[in-house]
Each structure stands twice: as C-alpha cells, then as structure tokens.
Amino acid sequence: MSTSPNRIEAFDAVDLIHTKRDRGALRTEQINWLIDAYTRGYVGDEQMAAMTMAIFLNGMDRREIKDLTMAMINSGERMSFAGLGKPTTDKHSTGGVGDKITLPLMPLVAVFGAAVPQLSGRGLGHTGGTLDKLESIPGWRANLTNDEMFRQLRDTGGVICAAGRGLAPADGKLYALRDITGTVEAIPLIASSIMSKKIAEGTSALVLDVKFGSGAFLKDIDRSRELARTMVALGEDAGVATSALLTNMNVPLGFAIGNANEVRESVEVLAGGGPADVVELTIALATEMLDLAGITGVDVAAALTDGRAMDKWREVIRAQGGDPDAALPVARETHVVTADRDGVLVEQQALPFGIGAWRLGAGRARKQDPVQHAAGIDLHAKPGDTVHAGQPLFTLSADEPERFARALEAVAGAYRIGDPGEPVLDGGPLIAERIGR
C-alpha cells in the first residue's frame, strides 16, 4: 500500500530510531504512527530494520510493548466469537522439536464443550509447523474463511487453520523482516507478534507453552520466563484470561520428528497410547485451557482413553475435507542408526535432531519452499533408556537418499551412550513452572 504524496506525516522515522537507539522510550502516538506508516509503506524496510535492531539491543518497557501490540492489532481486523454461545480457549507454543501437541490437544479440549479456534502456522528452520503436519492428511485444507471457521467452531467445537491475511497484517510484514535481520529473539518483538494475533483472534482465554532449552528459540529458562511474563501481562491487559507453562525443550518431544510421522504419533495419543511426555503435556495444557475457560472438575485423561477425543479428531478432520482413515505418506528411503555399545542413552539434544529432520526435507529454509511430508526422524530410545549394541537408536526417512549424509552430520555428537548410573542430561522435568493468575 502506498502513501499519498500530499499526506503530512506526524513523525519522522529517523527521529524515532534515534530515540530507541539512545535507550529512550517511544511514546504511544509515536508507536501507533510507526506501525501504521510501516504497514502502508511510508516507513521502509531499511528503517524498520534499524528500529528492530535498536529494540533488540535496548528493549522496551511494559507500556511500550503493550502499545506495540495494540498498534499491530489495530492494523487489521478483529474477530469475535461472542455468538458461539460457548467459551473460547486457545493455546500457543513458541515452537520446538517434535512439538505436535496442538493435534491431540484441540479435539481433547473441544470434547468438554469449549470452542478451540487454533490459528496455526507453518514451520521455518528447525521448528515444525502445525499446518505442514496436518497437510499430510489427504484432502485436509488449512485455509478457511472467517465464516467457515465460525461455522466449524459452532458445529464441532474445534478448528485448526491458517490465520487470515486481515489479522494483524503489520505483524506478518514485521515478522518476515525480523527473520532476515537477526532480530527474531527480541523479547518485545516476540511477545507483541504472538499476542497481537492471539488477541485479534478474539479468544477469551489463552494458554502459552513457552519452551526453553536446546531446541527452543530462547534457550535460557530465565529469558523464557521473561517472555512468558511479558505475554501473560499483555493478555491480561487486553482482557484475555492468560497463563503460561514453561516447558523443557532440551530433548525432542515424543519419538516422531517431521510431519506425517508426527500425525501418526498424535493419533496414537488420541487412541489412549503414545509417548508419556506427549500425553503429559497434552493433559496439562488441556486442563489449563479448560480452567481458564471456566470448565473445571472434568476428567481430561479419561477422554483420551475412552475414545471421545478420537471421535472429535475424526469429526474435525472431516469438516476440513480430510480423510482420517486415509494412509499417510511414507518415505521411499530410510537409514537406521544403531547403538555402538551397551549402556544408557544419557544425552539426546533437541536442536541437532530438529536440524537433521529439516535437512531430510521435513522443514523449509524459505517460506515459499515445499516440505516433504514423509521426511523426518523416528527415535527408538529416549534419555534414560537402557540400550544394547546393534539396537536401533533412530531412523532417518527421506525421499532422496542423498539427504542422509547432511542429516547425519547434524546429529553427530548430539546423542551419547553412557554407563549405568551416569547422570542423564535431559534438562529436568518436562513442565518447569506455571506463570499466571
């Protein structure tokens, strides 16, 4: 969008850059102008790149972050689910390796009468995207109109779909710029990016799964805690009941890393099985989402074992054109890595395995790149497990065997077999802390 040459601008971008560069605070009206001017193209990418770096280096106070978030919300439309006649509750994860929690979580929460408007994204780099995973299912479609989304929430109680372009468009433009300017990790920018979309989405309750550790964007737990507290404050200031769980991403979540294989693992959870860590986090997040929505005293775990969550999953997948009974893609080639000795698996770093799956084709280097839905890594052991020489540790899957070499380079040194009694390097409990009301 271009700006009229006759328009007189309220501020000058260079002055605002100087203010933030010199550790000053931007006023509310300056932030409002900056985001509006950037969205309509008056402020150029090079100027906003300088501003994001100044924010990355010098931070923002709580009022500035709130103003930035509201300015991005006001750059587009706001949705409302007031007419549904049921409470709405949502979850956002900051991303990790093997993080497929949204897939079993959404139907599990919807079983209990809440509406779950799960607006999700695609993967970039080592972190997987929920939409990429679900597109492994034949026929399933990610793009719904607002009317279709509302109708599906009313009829089934749950939806996982792409956010419309009208929702916080300033954030979409700013996120793409941050990705190429080394400012992704700036806490004010992460917090305002996530919360502008979630608040504009119109949910009445929100639970944040904020990761820390090897496979997280913010590896240090103190930085993750700061991000969680910032986002919870933004949600509460906007009238959205908000809480956060700090969760461990030092080790991949579950056994599957990829797209189709993560769908398979999610279905196992919905069938009452699946990896213990995926089940634990799914139940914890579901309980938190329901509590914030005012639905208490329910047996969340029972809905996984008695088939109700699976029935809801099948209903929601069909509503978006997918066939829950269809065969999922299988890679043409596999490569198995085995243990070279007897012992205990004492280390399994999340980030290298995420990079390995990405190099196999499960992820993308650029937003426009396709993903290979069958590519990925299946783990056969987790830290603390006893293993024997020759036992499979993990399997690489890809359509082109030439991808295996670079994936193996990524995971070299990322796992280690030690002696019985040696400390297991898993970073501690899965759920480290709760932040919120």
As given in the structure block, the two tokens for residue 428 are 């501690």
- pLDDT at position 301: 97
Residue-wise pLDDT for 21-35, tens only, equals 999 999 999 999 999
pLDDT exceeds cutoff 70 at 4: no
Rounded Cα–Cα distance for residues 383 and 388 (Å): 14
Q: How many CA atoms lie within 13 A of 278 on its CB side?
A: 32
The residue among 79, 235, 80, 72 whose CA lies nearest residue 169 is: 72
Query: 105: which DSSP letter?
Result: H
Determine the topology of domain 82-326 in CATH: Pyrimidine Nucleoside Phosphorylase; Chain A, domain 2 (3.40.1030)
pLDDT band at 390 (very low <50, low <70, confident <90, very high): very high
- Report the alpha-carbon distance of residue 91 to residue 332 in Å, rounded: 35
* Tens of pLDDT, residues 211-233: 999 999 899 999 999 999 999 99
Tokens of 320: 């978006």
Give residue 120's pLDDT. Answer: 85
Span 157-177, pLDDT tens digits: 999 998 877 888 898 889 888
Mean pLDDT for the stretch of residues 26-52: 96
3-state secondary structure of 333: strand
CA angle 382, 384, 387 (to 5 degrees): 75
Mean pLDDT across the chain: 93
3-state secondary structure of 381: coil
The catalytic site residues sit at 92, 171, 178, 193, 197
CA angle in degrees (0–180, nearest 5) for 273-208-306? 25
- What superfamily in CATH does domain 13-59 come from? Transferase, Pyrimidine Nucleoside Phosphorylase; Chain C (1.20.970.10)
pLDDT above 70: residue 368: no
Whole-model pTM: value is 0.93
DSSP result, 244-297:
EEEEE-SS-SSSEEESHHHHHHHHHHHTT-S-HHHHHHHHHHHHHHHHHTT--S
What's CA 308's distance to the chain center, in Å? Answer: 25
pLDDT, position 210: 97
Tell me the domain boundaries of the chain.
13-59, 82-326, 333-418
- Greatest pairwise CA separation for the chain in angstroms: 76
Q: Is the pLDDT of residue 369 over 90?
A: no
DSSP string covering 178-243:
HHTTT-TT-HHHHHHHHHHHHHHHT-SEEEEEEEESTTSSS-SHHHHHHHHHHHHHHHHHTT-EEE
3-class DSSP assignment, residue 378? strand
What is the CATH code for 333-418? 3.90.1170.30
- The SS3 assignment for 300 reads helix
Residue 382 has pLDDT above 90, yes or no: yes
Give the strand pairing for 392-398 and 431-436. Answer: unpaired
E-state strands within 43-114: 89-93
pLDDT at 367: 63
